[in-house]
Structures are given as C-alpha cells and as structure tokens.
C-alpha cells in the first residue's frame, strides 16, 4: 500500500475491460514523428492496415477505419444502412446495448428492445420469435452486442444468424464486437454479419481513438438507399479514398502506426492462440470468483464472456467503495457497474496483452482488497485460478474446457 | 540526396500546413501507459484540459472536445445548431470551404455559397451585402474559415462580425480555425463567434485525432431547437459529463495527455510570442517566394496567412512532380494543390513548433529543389528570408510589419 | 503459456535482482533529444543530480558519477585510495565478493579473504578479530558488500563500523551498495564509510550504465597518496569539473535525465516508505518460499536481504532448467546461481519499482512453474505471501517485523 | 528569437561535433523495458551487435564493447597493450590528442609528443622520421587520432601505416576514430591498425555511454605480456564472455538495442553513401565559411575533416560569447574552443544523422547570429553552401570533390 506516499508505486494493474494495457511495442510504434498524411509513406501504411484489419474481422469485404471511439462506429453502422423511422430489433443485454438503443432513438429510428435481466446474452430463440412475428418485415436490422461489456455476457452470433435465417427474415444483421474482437473467435463473412462494429482499445491493444465498420455486400447495397443524414460517417467517401490508400480527411496517423503493429502482434501469436489464452484466463478468473464465494453476474455459463467477468458483491457492500479502496491500496482499476445494478458489482477485465502473471497479480490483490474492505469472502481465489491454469498448461487440449 | 539508399537520412522537414511537427515533449507526454478513463486520474486531467483549452480559444464558455479530426467538428457545429433545409451563408475561399459546403448539402442544409477566385479571404463587405438582402432572415448561419488551408488566405473574423452586426442580421456565426488556432490571434468571445471549430494537429502541435467546438450562449440556445439528427456529436451529453470531469464515451486519453502539455507549452512561450513568431516566419517565407520570382497564391496582402503560403509555379510546370522531387531529393513535404488549381501550386506550411533554423532549412532545400527541377526562378530566396529575419530580430518592434 | 507462439505475451516479469523494471516515467525522461554536454542545460542538470544523489547516500560529501556499470565503480574505489601491494580485508559473502577480491588481485593488491559458506553476511566479530590481529596496520582497507546479490545476504554496515573502531584500526572502510542502495536504509556519513560504491540499475530504477563513489574526507586524503595507476577513474578530474557542473569527459546525458527523475520519484514516495515497502515484499517472498517447503539460501534470519531471496531447489533438481522452464512458460526471469552452488538455486529479485500485485504475479507463476517442472513443493506459497501482506497492511506498525 | 519566452521553440540544432542528433528510430529502440542481461534475448542481441560492429570497423577481429565513453576506450587501448615506462609516439594534433597524451603520462607511460600548431593533422613523414631515429625500438606504440575533434583536422591513417612500415618499426599502431567512425572511410584490418578506439555518440548516432576497442592479432599478443594494471578494461574477460554472447559485467542493455539499430541504419543507407554524404556536407560548410570571409582552422586542405569544421573569429571577437548569442537567439549549439585558441574559434559539427536541410538551417542561423553579434563577415555563406550542394546533386560523380 502506498497511502503515505505521493506516488503510486510500480505498475498499475489495469483490469478495466478496455482500454487494455498498452504493449510497449505499440507505444513505441506510435511514438514517432508525424508523417505527411497525403504522402507515399502514409499510403503504404494505409494499404497495409486496410488489408490487415480484414484478417482480424475475417472478412474479404472492406473495413472502414474511423478516427473516433466505438460510439462513432455504432452511429456509422446505423446511419449508413437505415432510414428515418426504420424499425430495428435490439436486445437489452446491459448498459452498452441500452446506449446503442438510445442512440437509435436519437437518430430517428424505432427500436424494438428485447428485455433481459442483464445477466444473460442475446437468446437466438427469442430473436427468431420476434422476427417471425414481423410478417411485414418492418424490422430493417437486428442489432446485437457480441460481448456486453457492462455485464460480461457473450452472445452467440453464429446462432443468431441461423435464427434470422430460420425466420426467413431479410433484416440486416449489425453486430458490435468492441469488447470481443481479437479476443475471441469472430467471423464476419462466415457468420453472415452485415456490419460489424469494432474498436481499437480492447483486443487490438491500442489507445482509444479508432473504430471500425466491417461491411457486407448487403450492407453496401443498403447504404445506397439509406436516408439517414450523414457526412463524416459516410462509407462512400471512405471507400473511394481508401481504394488509393488515402482517407477523405486527415486520419489519426499515430493510431495507424499502432494498428499495423497490433495486427502483426496478433498474427505472431496466432489468432487461435490469442483466443485460447483469453478463454483460459477467463476461466481462471471465474474459478477465483467462485472460490471467494462471490456471484458471477452472468448467470448462465453458456454466455460467459472471455474478456470480462462481472462480480457481484454481497448485499450491503458498495462496489464503488471497494474499487476505490483497491485503487488506493493496490494500484488496480476495475470496471464500474451500471443502471439498476449500480454499486452492486465490479468488473474484472482480462483481455488484451495480458498473461498469467499479470492476471494472478490482479486476482491476488483483489483478494487482498476484499479482506481489507471487509467484504465477506473465502480465501483461496487466486489459488484456485493458479490450480486451474497449471492443469490447463499440463493438458493443453482441455485448456478452455470448464 | 539519398537516392541510392534505402533510408531517408536525417530529420524529415514536414512543411505541410498541418499536421505539424510533433514536439518531443508532446510525444513523450503521450507515450504513457493507458489510464482508467473513469478513474480519478482521468478526471483530474479532463478538468485541466477543459479549463485550459478555453484560454486558447479565449472564451469563458464551454469547449467540446471530440475524438475525431476537424471534419467531425465541422459536422458537430452544423448538426447541433441547425435544422433540415436551413439556409447557411458560406464563402468559397478554397477547397476546405468547398468541402464544408458539400457537407452542409449532405446534411440537408441549403448553403448559399459566395464565390471567389480562391486567391483572397472572405470579404466582410460581400457578406454584409448578402445578409442585407436576406430580409426574411432565412439565413440561419454564416460559416467562414478563419484560415483557408488550401490557399493561404486569412479572413478577418472581427470585421465579419461587425458586418453581420451592421446588417442587423440574427444569423449564427460559425468559424473554422483549424489551421489558425494557436498560431494567430483569435478571440471567440470578444469577436462574438457562436461556434468555433478547431483541430489538434496544427497550432496545438498534436497528432490528428482530436477536434473542438467552442460555444456561445446563443449557440447553446440554438442547440435546444436544432432538428438535425445527431448522437455522437451531441453537445448535451458532452456538457453533462464534462461537468464532472468525464466524457460520455471513452475519450482518446493519450491525446488528452498531449493536449495538457500543448497548452502548457503555448503559455510558457506566451500566446503573443507565438503569434509574433508565426507572423515573422510567414513574412520571411513570402520574401523568399518573391525573391524566387514566383507568385504567391494569395493575391491581396491583407489576406496573407500567418500559417501557410501557397506558391504558384510558372505555367507548364507540374507542382506535384516538384513536390515528389523535393521529397525524394531533400526529405521535405509540402501541401498539395486542389480543384481548379490542381498541379499548379504547392503550399509551404510554417506553423506549429517551428523556429528560424527549421524554416530556413526548409526554404533552402526548396530553393535547391527548384534548381534541380528546372523550375524557372531566381536564387536568393532563402537569403531574402534570412535578411528579413535578421532585421526583424534587430528591431523587434517592427518584426511583424511588412 | 505461449509455447506455440512466436511472441512472448504480456509484460515480462523481471525478477532478477537488478537491473530492475524500468518505470515508464524514467524511460520517458531518457527518451529525449541529446543536449550539448557543455551547454547550460547540461550544467543545470548536472548540478541537480550531483546534489540529489547525496540525499540517497545520506552524505554531505561529494559523490562521483561514472559512466560505467558497478564493476567500474569497484575499481574506482580501490585505485583512488590504495597503492600496489596494499593489504585489504575482504569477506567472501558470495560470488560478487569473490569478483571484487579477484579484481583487487588483478590491480596488484593483496587481499585477505575471510571465508564463509556463502549463506550468511559479513560478521562484524570476525572482522574485528582480523583487525585486532593486524598490529602493524598492514590492512589498508576493509571491503564489504552491503548486500551480496548472489546469495541474498545483507551485512550489518553500522555494526562493522563499530567493529573497526573497537579494534582501533585505521583502515579505510569501502562498502558496495549496488543491490541495496535506495532499497534499504544506508547512511554513508553516519556509518563512517569512506567509499560507498553504488549502481544505477537496482534501487535507482535506471538502466545499467552508471555507477557511483560516495567519498569521505579520509578517502579524499588517501587519494592524495594512492599509488595505483588511474586516469579514467581518477576522482580529482571529476571533482574539479563537477564543481562547475560539468564532467571531464562526455557524460551519459540520457542517464543523467533518468537519474534526476529517479531521485524525484524516491523522495515523492519517501525513502522510509521505500525501505518499508522492500522489507514487506521481502518478508512476503520468504513466507512463500517457506510455504513451498523450499530452503532459503540465507541461513540466518539476521542477514536476510530486503532485495533478493535465493531459493534452493531439492537435491537432484536443476535450477537453470527450472529458470528456463519458467521463462518459456510464464515470461518470468530470475537470477542465476554461482560458484559451488551453480545449478542449485535461483534468485527472486524483489527490488526497485515493484508493488504487491507485481510480486504476487511473480510468486504465483513461480509456484506454477514449480508444479510444471515437477519440483517437489507444497502449494500455498503465494497464498502465504498474500496473507502476510494483508496482515501487514492491516497493522502497518509491524509490517516489517517477521 | 525566443528571448521573451520561457521555452526554447522548435527543434534544437545540435551542431556540436558529437554527441550527434539522435534519430527517433534509435531513441525508440532504446525506449524499451529492461531485459535479463543473462537471458537468451540478451544473448541473441549481443551476438548480433558483436558481429555487426565488425562491419563498421571493417575488421574480422573481435571488437570489445565498453560501457563507458571514449575516454575509457582510450585507457583500455593503452593498458591492455603496454607496460609501465613504455615509450609511445603521439602527435599533438589538438586538445583531444593532448588529453590522450596526459592520460598516457598518468598511466605511467612515456609519451614522445610530436608538436603541431593545432591546424593540421598528423604528418606521416614526420612520424616516419621519428621512428627511423628510434633504432632501439623503444617506441612501443604510435598513437594517432584519425580525426582531431578539437580542430577539424583528419589524419591519413593508411599513409601513417605505410610510414611505420617504411621505417621498419615494430611499434603497435593505436588509432582513435571517435569522431570519424561511421562518418568517413576507415579500414581497421586493411590499414593494419592494432587497436582502434571508437565511440557511440558520433557517427554511430547513439547517446554517449559506450565505446569500443577493435583489435588485431598483434594487439592480442601484446596484451599477453602487457604489465599495466587493469581489471575493468581487461580484454581477456570480455573476449571469453563475448564468445558465448554475454559480458563479464552487466552491459548497458538499452545501448545495445540502440547499437543494433544504428548498425542496421548505416547499412540501409550504405556505408559509401554515408561517407559521401559527410564529404558533401563538410565541403558545403567550408564554402559557407569562406564566403563569410572567415578562416577555417584547418590550414591545409589535405587534412580537412569530413565531420567538423572549426571556424576562427576575427581578432577581438569572443567565440564563446558568439556561441551563447546563437544559442539564445536561434536554439543552436556549436563546439567550444580549447587551449591556446580558447575563445578564438567555434566548431560546426556536421556528422551523424544529418541531411541538407538540417545543415542549411544551421548554417543560415549561424550567418544570422554573425550579423546579430556584430562579427565582421560577408553575407552569402548559406547561399554558397546551397550552390555547392545543388551542383553536387546535379553531378553526383564529383559530389565529394572540392
């Protein structure tokens, strides 16, 4: 603890569910003199990242790169494909789904919002049911968060695609992968997603300030007739300029340097290794939480998130006070709680460029902060995480199994 | 020249009119581990920059900070204050004014576009005349670029304010200062501007990826009744969260670190010193161009830009070929040409963290590239710039005079 | 584990006993353009660090700053004070004491080397006994390592001073603090040390490449008559130039920037807090080792090191193989073993800018590597460390007690 | 000029003859977490630089890398090859030659010092004459500075080798290349040099803190019988450890990262291109000086230095005052003057990662500072440099001719 000191000692343990810890290699790639954003060096860089980012979304279609955080890419996905008054089907998986729904309202869309208790992901059967009822095909888009960052619930995108198809519904399929991309498997083309929204500051290990729209042929066709007003977010200008390796307005050149390096790093590790590592660390975290005798917010194992675990505190204990105590005592940050659960839980992010020692350091001081804070719990959470990780290392083939 | 080599030797001379050369101190401020964007450290930083940026715009009203380049802040200025079909008076000072006008069209506005030959700034008398004709006050906003980056012409904002007042017209006054802010005097409050659009990557010496809207009471009032759709760009969410030191969505934290440092640096130099330096280096550049016997694009001295000088090449000489030759031969970048003048001129940026030696190095190799490229010119341009700068140093009181 | 990948994931856990993990703030301070080493900026920086470093050694006498690692400062301490053939009393606390003794031989000195089994520090009583026997005062210097980095044993410098005084012996007292300075209490003046040898890359949190000699009046007097040849290491040139804020030869300017920041950071935390933190983390480490059922190399608790703990592996288990396994599996480095114990132990460094989470992350993966490597041990070491640290946090007054 | 401001604006023009401006790429390579200096990553790095540095010295023999500035490598060259009382032939080319001679005296050697007026390099004929007189072969080594940094005079090493051979003298040949290496052609093996002393902070574009000894078979043989005391500087420990990719004491790991990058950069440009560039910029500088009507310190063109030009001020003008004025007015640093010429000249460094625009920026503000300082001179120096550089670019084959 550093309470008698005017400086926080040692490395900060950033366990918010994004932005994630910046690898030094990415910081160095960005710590570079500015280059002419209309010169040959930028052009070469742009072509490299515009191709490279496709391999992360697993798409052969164009990916738009915005100089804006994920919220901007949410707006882009809607305004490029829809028209005022269009009905969109959304699922209330949690706070971020709610924000996207609120945005749809602001933009003049008409969202139909499937409720949940915020403790599961989007259920394909429920979506299918809603679509089947929509005989007139008034629903123009189904909008789902792959990973609800606010609750730690992952939704089954491939199964939702199948549900849409089973309903025989022509709606566009828009998916937010901000806190799942480059951390768990995602297949834009194979899963028939029309617009995938992504962000830089999570699995891509970059600072905030860049976001993405991965497109489909169907999305591009929809953009031709879309009537929502748009200028900055317009795909068409972007697509035209990107073809020759430029951007319609000054891009965030430092971020592009970082993105090129991030894509390299992901492929050096191997995407499947990246995904397995996230699965392993997520399971270790859940084992710690269970050993503490605390409740995982996601109440159905099939929706467990590989990137963030929300932990509920016992009734009468303030999660925000706990977070502050942990920050002051052990230089660790967690994600906050939202909405009807405000103050009732905290979120442990375990995504990005993170390894076993980083996670176990974080879980250990979490356990210590529970003790310091007088939160009723059992010891042995970090130990349970270690035991699992040793067994996973010893038997790699079952590493991600629970 | 390094034509036999696979690496560009030495420092690049970045003489585009922004992004400007990044000071090492700013790069270092940004080269830092990510912090929790909802934690106390971010809150402290946010409060510091939200107050500090006001001193740069010379306003006591709120300034909105967007994670987006200037184009985004253009859109924000329009969508927060106007409604579909609104008439806006704009002045075609050059390419960027044209792009803003095109944006207005895309957003469903109805721009009246005062033409020029792209070789002067916005004329207050002409604006006044247009406003006087608009008896019905259909014009809801006057939109002017303080500095037209594409041509190197500065428009007299205080005089335009007077012209609007003289016409007794209630239109909002929206001003783009992307390539003038923090380089030449600008007074948001005193000059009665309603929305000032600014960007990070010019006088503020930051990388691209951040932009600003400085507001007035009148602009805030207009935003209550504005009917253009908006969500990401909405001022209201921003203003609410900014009050407590946060942002409605993840801000570009690294940029905020840089911004705090940039504001410090500007005040350490002293804003008046910053402006005098830009005036001095701009005049030195023009003296060089005249000594070369080349034509300055800005054809009326009262519109001369303190941040960028566009140089016309003699008929039959391709400015793009010249820029490529200079880049390959001497590791220097200039701004490109646009529109009807495409290929006919190049632009020398002289803004940001630039001193005499940097400018004279740039002017010297420009003179050499003119020789290498066989562009008809007289020698002695760099010498003329030096002579002026010596005399300006010897008699500081007349430094900025021409 | 990242064995299928071509990149090491996440942060490296650098648990060698120095160089220690570089704080980002120090890296940034060093990541700066070169300055003129004979200009006013360097002069100001030099004066700042030459004064500041005295507060770390707790001395009012000059401290010499060498551009060389600690081995160079060892040589400087000897060649500035002694003459060919001089007898010096040294204590074989371990590998580094042996290296210093070997250096003395190479330089033409005549070391008397008090043996130990490498598992304790220097015993004041034994030193006193040797000095009492030296009636002719042939011993010109007593040379002791404050902390033997190779074994994790700390020697009681104040008590050794008393032993020298008790023996009434006039020998100089030379102390190496390379792996203890700025990590545990050290008082050059109060403890009557004549030359203290220090290094940058341990408690000072800098990269290797800088070392120190703190002097006394007696040492300065000795240097006047010392006959060992010297030039680069000569104190006199350094002292003369340092007086005006310069160095006789180009100093490592980037290191000086880093040093200034390091001194600031230590005082921001407070030296006593720094020492208490090291004590706490060291005790936590020892509790982990004991819980594993492994043997701590330092066999007498009164010599326990606050900066490094050497851990012996059970007979038949190769410590180097274990270190390689841990590096490959969990991206963690430990110190190697030496001499007669080569291959029999590994060293856990716990010094520098390190906090609870960093240490516990390291101890956790160490426990996991013991399991992976089939090293006989009990689980629960990391847990024991946590338990201690929680209790130490709850009762700060007994934090460092055992 | 920034005299009314508390910050120096823009980039510093570092025209001291080393340390040279640090390329950003090298700074980034060094701005990296510390690695275990006994681990596999360091080993790989060490092998890479130990091989790479040979290509810079053009030798197939080992090169020793010291963590110390050049003065340390001077000492190493002497103490590894010579014995107390040995006679060494040295040439008083200027201040640095004098310092090396003084070091020889301190180390107990017996230098014979050939005088000059400090305005030429070492004359092979004079050296030959001295050696011929030494019938008894009492001279054990000839020590010459390839480039005398203090005066800007380059000595003809190949010719001196021939002179030694012509005299039939068996002396070792020790050459200092601190301010010439990697800037002008140098061939350790072909020219029969026995020990070449090099430094990091000049042509190698690194910060100060690293230096080199390149060896020959004859030097290695001499080291077996050398009687000067040595420990830190001993080649034998270094050679043994280097064989397996390690160092006997903690190396300056950050510098090794930088060195690897520096070697890459030199080969990417091509060593011959590097040398031609230095020749070209040096000639441009001399043309500027002549155009100003000032005197070049080096009075014989055959000794002109490709890396530094010393400029004499007219009688009655203080060069140190001039340097201060230029620093305050234009943020530029020059080298100081020494010895009998103290205050009479300043030195313009033109070496390292420097291009035409950087040099011309520097020469331009130098001309302006001459004007501000009231130093009698003619205008047109920067122009003369430009004219030469244009002609050199137009006719590359004669670029380096004078």
How much is the ipTM here?
A: 0.96
Percent of chain A residues past pLDDT 70, beyond the cut = 97
The confidence band for B72, taking pLDDT boundaries of 50, 70 and 90, is: very high
pLDDT in tens, D149-198: 999 999 999 999 999 999 999 999 999 999 999 999 999 999 999 999 99
Residue with tokens 């007015």: D329
Buried b (16+ CB within 10 A) or exposed e, D241-263: ebeeebbbbbbbbbbbbbbbbbb
pLDDT in tens, B141-151: 999 999 999 99
Residue with tokens 């030039």: C231
Tell me the C-alpha distance between C20 and A11, whole Å: 12
Percent of chain B residues past pLDDT 90, beyond the cut = 96
What distance in Å separates residue B239's CA from the closest CA in chain D?
34
Structure tokens at A25: 């290699």
Tell me the C-alpha distance between C164 and C145, whole Å: 15
Tell me how many degrees the CA angle A103-A106-A111 measures, rounded to the nearest 5.
65
Structure tokens at A214: 């991965």
- Please classify residue B401 by burial: count the beta carbons closer than 10 Å to its beta carbon, then call 0-12 exposed, 13-18 middle and 19+ buried: exposed
Cβ pair C106:D234 closer than 8 A? yes
pLDDT in tens, D56-69: 999 999 999 999 99
**Cis peptide upstream of residue B342 (ω within 30 degrees of 0):** no
Locate all alpha helices (DSSP H) within C152-212, ordered by sequence: 157-166
Determine which of C35-39, C58-62, C342-346, D254-258 has the lowest per-residue pLDDT on average: C35-39
Q: Specify the DSSP class assigned to residue A14.
A: E
Residue B284 has pLDDT above 90, yes or no: yes
Cβ pair C269:A362 closer than 8 A? no
DSSP run (H or E) holding C64? strand C63-66
Smallest Cβ–Cβ distance between B9 and the set D2, D5, D355 belongs to: D355
Bridge partner list, C15: C334
pLDDT in tens, C236-290: 999 999 999 999 999 999 999 999 999 999 999 999 999 999 999 999 999 999 9
Contact of C316 with chain B, judged by CB distance below 8 Å, is answered with no
Contact of C365 with chain A, judged by CB distance below 8 Å, is answered with yes
Residue D355 has pLDDT above 70, yes or no: yes
Contact of D28 with chain A, judged by CB distance below 8 Å, is answered with yes
Residue B36 has pLDDT above 80, yes or no: yes
Tell me the C-alpha distance between A42 and B94, whole Å: 24
Contact of C397 with chain A, judged by CB distance below 8 Å, is answered with no
Contact of A372 with chain B, judged by CB distance below 8 Å, is answered with no
Residues D157/D186, Cβ–Cβ less than 8 Å: yes
| Mean pLDDT, residues A121-135 | 98
| Mean pLDDT, residues D267-277 | 97
The confidence band for D395, taking pLDDT boundaries of 50, 70 and 90, is: low
Task: Report the candidate in C357, C361, C280 with the shortest Cα–Cα distance to residue C13.
Answer: C361
* Residues of chain B found within 8 Å of residue C32, distances taken between Cβ atoms: 24, 28
pLDDT for B5 = 65
DSSP run (H or E) holding C8? none
Tell me the C-alpha distance between C208 and C69, whole Å: 6
Q: Specify the DSSP class assigned to residue A392.
A: H
Tell me the C-alpha distance between C160 and C142, whole Å: 9
Residues C307/C153, Cβ–Cβ less than 8 Å: no
| Interface A:D, Cβ pairs < 8 A | 10
| Mean pLDDT, residues D313-334 | 97
Neighbours of chain D (3+ CB pairs under 8 A): A, B, C
| Mean pLDDT, residues B182-208 | 98
The Cβ-side half-sphere exposure at D36, using a 13 Å CA radius, reads 22
Contact of C386 with chain A, judged by CB distance below 8 Å, is answered with yes
pLDDT for C259 = 98
β-sheet with D195-199: strand ranges across: D63-66, D211-215, D195-199, D172-176, D139-145, D87-91, D110-114
pLDDT in tens, C14-23: 999 999 999 9
Neighbours of chain A (3+ CB pairs under 8 A): B, C, D
Tell me how many degrees the CA angle D195-D196-D199 measures, rounded to the nearest 5.
140
The confidence band for A161, taking pLDDT boundaries of 50, 70 and 90, is: very high
What distance in Å separates residue B379's CA from the closest CA in chain A?
27
| Interface B:C, Cβ pairs < 8 A | 10
> How many CB atoms neighbour CB D165 within 10 A?
13
Q: How far is CA D399 from CA B5, C263, D296, D357, D394, in A?
A: 16, 50, 21, 17, 9
pLDDT in tens, C102-115: 999 999 999 999 99
What distance in Å separates residue C126's CA from the closest CA in chain D?
29
Residue A3 has pLDDT above 50, yes or no: no
pLDDT for B156 = 98
What residues contact D105, with CB distance under 8 A and at least 6 apart?
Answer: D111
Closest CA in chain D for residue A31:
D28
- Please classify residue C381 by burial: count the beta carbons closer than 10 Å to its beta carbon, then call 0-12 exposed, 13-18 middle and 19+ buried: buried
Strands (E), A232-323: 295-296, 308-312
Structure tokens at C44: 């100001």
Structure tokens at D183: 């800037």
Q: Which of residues 58-117 of B touch D (CB under 8 A)?
A: none
- State phi, psi for C192 to the nearest 5 degrees: 65, 40
Tell me the C-alpha distance between A280 and A117, whole Å: 27
Contact of D40 with chain C, judged by CB distance below 8 Å, is answered with yes
* Residues of chain B found within 8 Å of residue D1, distances taken between Cβ atoms: 356, 393, 396
Q: How far is CA B148 from CA B95, B291, B391, B400, in A?
A: 8, 24, 29, 21
Q: Which of residues 176-215 of D touch C (CB under 8 A)?
A: 201, 207-209
What distance in Å separates residue B31's CA from the closest CA in chain C?
7
Residues C238/C248, Cβ–Cβ less than 8 Å: yes
Residue B402 has pLDDT above 90, yes or no: no
Contact of D32 with chain A, judged by CB distance below 8 Å, is answered with yes
Compute and round to an integer the Cα radius of gyration of chain C.
21
Determine which of A364-368, B6-10, B248-252, D198-202 has the lowest per-residue pLDDT on average: B6-10
pLDDT in tens, B356-372: 999 999 999 999 999 99
Residue B400 has pLDDT above 70, yes or no: no
pLDDT in tens, A200-235: 999 999 999 999 999 999 999 999 999 999 999 999
What distance in Å separates residue B357's CA from the closest CA in chain D?
4
pLDDT in tens, D13-58: 999 999 999 999 999 999 999 999 999 999 999 999 999 999 999 9
pLDDT for B393 = 83
pLDDT for B167 = 98
Determine which of B16-25, D93-102, D388-397 has the lowest per-residue pLDDT on average: D388-397
Tell me the C-alpha distance between D239 and D66, whole Å: 12
* Residues of chain D found within 8 Å of residue C74, distances taken between Cβ atoms: 232
Residue with tokens 């497109």: A215
Smallest Cβ–Cβ distance between B32 and the set C28, C32, C33 belongs to: C28
Q: How far is CA B126 from CA B186, B194, B196, B298, C230, in A?
A: 22, 20, 21, 18, 82
Cβ pair D357:B361 closer than 8 A? yes
Q: How far is CA B375 from CA B323, B324, B368, C158, C184, in A?
A: 12, 14, 10, 79, 70
* Residues of chain B found within 8 Å of residue D7, distances taken between Cβ atoms: 265, 268-269
What distance in Å separates residue B355's CA from the closest CA in chain D?
5
* Residues of chain A found within 8 Å of residue B21, distances taken between Cβ atoms: 33-34
| Mean pLDDT, residues C221-243 | 97
Compute and round to an integer the Cα radius of gyration of chain D.
21
Smallest Cβ–Cβ distance between A9 and the set C353, C365, C372 belongs to: C353
Structure tokens at B364: 């010297």
The confidence band for A393, taking pLDDT boundaries of 50, 70 and 90, is: confident
Cβ pair C32:B28 closer than 8 A? yes
Cβ pair D208:C253 closer than 8 A? yes
Q: 3-class SS at A156? A: coil
Residue with tokens 């030379």: C174
Q: How far is CA A314 from CA A283, A319, A345, C50, in A?
A: 22, 9, 9, 55
| Interface B:D, Cβ pairs < 8 A | 155
- Helices and strands: H and E segment counts in chain C: 13, 14
Closest CA in chain A for residue D30:
A28
What residues contact B344, with CB distance under 8 A and at least 6 apart?
Answer: B312, B313, B319, B337
pLDDT for C154 = 98
Q: Which of residues 261-280 of D touch A (CB under 8 A)?
A: none
Q: Mean of the per-residue pLDDT values for chain D?
A: 96
Neighbours of chain B (3+ CB pairs under 8 A): A, C, D
Q: Which of residues 144-173 of B touch A (CB under 8 A)?
A: none
Smallest Cβ–Cβ distance between D37 and the set C19, C84, C231 belongs to: C19
pLDDT in tens, A6-64: 789 999 999 999 999 999 999 999 999 999 999 999 999 999 999 999 999 999 999 99
Neighbours of chain C (3+ CB pairs under 8 A): A, B, D
DSSP collapsed to 3 states, A223-247:
HHHCCCCCCCCCHHHHHHHHHCCCC
Tell me the C-alpha distance between A305 and A120, whole Å: 10
pLDDT for D6 = 73
Buried b (16+ CB within 10 A) or exposed e, C209-226: bbbbbbbbebbbebbeeb
| Interface C:D, Cβ pairs < 8 A | 164
pLDDT for C6 = 73
Percent of chain B residues past pLDDT 70, beyond the cut = 97
Helices A381-394, A356-372: axis angle to 10 degrees equals 160
What distance in Å separates residue B4's CA from the closest CA in chain D?
7
Structure tokens at D16: 């001291």
Specify the pTM: 0.96
Task: Report the candidate in D147, D259, D152, D254 with the shortest Cα–Cα distance to residue D205.
Answer: D259
pLDDT in tens, A304-319: 999 999 999 999 999 9
Q: Which of residues 229-248 of B touch A (CB under 8 A)?
A: 229-232, 234, 248
Cβ pair C14:D37 closer than 8 A? no
Residues C213/C177, Cβ–Cβ less than 8 Å: no
Tell me the C-alpha distance between B36 and B42, whole Å: 7
Residue B98 has pLDDT above 70, yes or no: yes
The confidence band for B6, taking pLDDT boundaries of 50, 70 and 90, is: confident
DSSP collapsed to 3 states, D287-322:
HHHHHHCCEECCCCHHHECCCEEEEECCCCCCHHHH
Contact of B349 with chain A, judged by CB distance below 8 Å, is answered with no
Cβ pair B252:A30 closer than 8 A? no
What residues contact D50, with CB distance under 8 A and at least 6 apart?
Answer: D62, D63, D65, D242, D245
* Residues of chain A found within 8 Å of residue D33, distances taken between Cβ atoms: 24
Tell me how many degrees the CA angle B298-B301-B307 measures, rounded to the nearest 5.
65
| Mean pLDDT, residues B272-291 | 98
């Amino acid at each position: 603890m550093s309470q008698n000191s005017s400086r926080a000692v040692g490395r900060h343990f950033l366990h918010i569910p994004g932005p994630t810890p910046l690898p030094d290699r990415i910081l160095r790639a960005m710590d570079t003199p500015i280059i002419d954003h209309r010169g040959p060096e930028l052009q070469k860089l742009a072509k490299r990242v515009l191709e490279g980012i496709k391999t992360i979304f697993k798409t052969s279609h164009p990916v738009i790169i915005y100089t804006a955080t994920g919220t901007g890419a949410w707006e882009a996905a809607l305004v490029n494909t829809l028209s005022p008054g269009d009905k969109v089907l959304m699922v209330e998986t949690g706070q971020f789904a709610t924000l996207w729904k609120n945005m749809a309202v602001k933009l003049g869309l008409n969202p139909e919002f499937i409720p949940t208790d915020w403790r599961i992901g989007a259920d394909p059967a429920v979506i299918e049911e809603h679509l089947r009822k929509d005989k007139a095909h008034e629903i123009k888009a189904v909008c789902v968060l792959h990973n609800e960052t606010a609750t730690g619930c992952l939704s089954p995108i491939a199964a939702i695609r199948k549900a849409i198809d089973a309903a025989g519904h022509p709606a566009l399929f828009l998916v937010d992968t901000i806190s799942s991309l480059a951390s768990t498997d995602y297949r834009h083309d194979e899963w028939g997603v029309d617009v995938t929204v992504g962000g830089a500051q999570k699995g891509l290990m970059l600072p905030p300030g860049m976001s993405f729209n991965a497109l489909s042929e169907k999305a591009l066709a929809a953009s031709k007739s879309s009537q929502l007003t748009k200028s900055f977010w317009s795909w068409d200008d972007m697509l035209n300029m990107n073809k020759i390796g430029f951007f319609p307005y000054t891009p965030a050149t430092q971020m592009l340097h970082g993105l090129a390096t991030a894509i390299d790093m992901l492929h050096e590790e191997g995407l499947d290794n990246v995904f397995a590592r996230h699965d392993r660390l997520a399971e270790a975290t859940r084992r710690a939480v269970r050993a503490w005798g605390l409740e995982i917010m996601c109440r159905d194992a099939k929706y467990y998130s590989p990137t963030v675990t929300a932990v509920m505190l016992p009734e009468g204990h303030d999660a925000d006070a706990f977070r502050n105590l942990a920050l002051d005592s052990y230089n660790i940050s967690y994600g906050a709680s939202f909405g009807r659960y405000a103050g009732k839980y905290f979120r442990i992010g375990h995504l990005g460029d993170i390894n076993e020692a980083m996670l176990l350091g974080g879980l250990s001081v979490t356990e210590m902060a529970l003790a310091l804070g007088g939160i009723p719990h059992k010891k042995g959470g970090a130990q349970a995480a270690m035991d699992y990780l040793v067994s996973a290392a010893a038997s790699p083939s079952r590493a991600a199994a629970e």
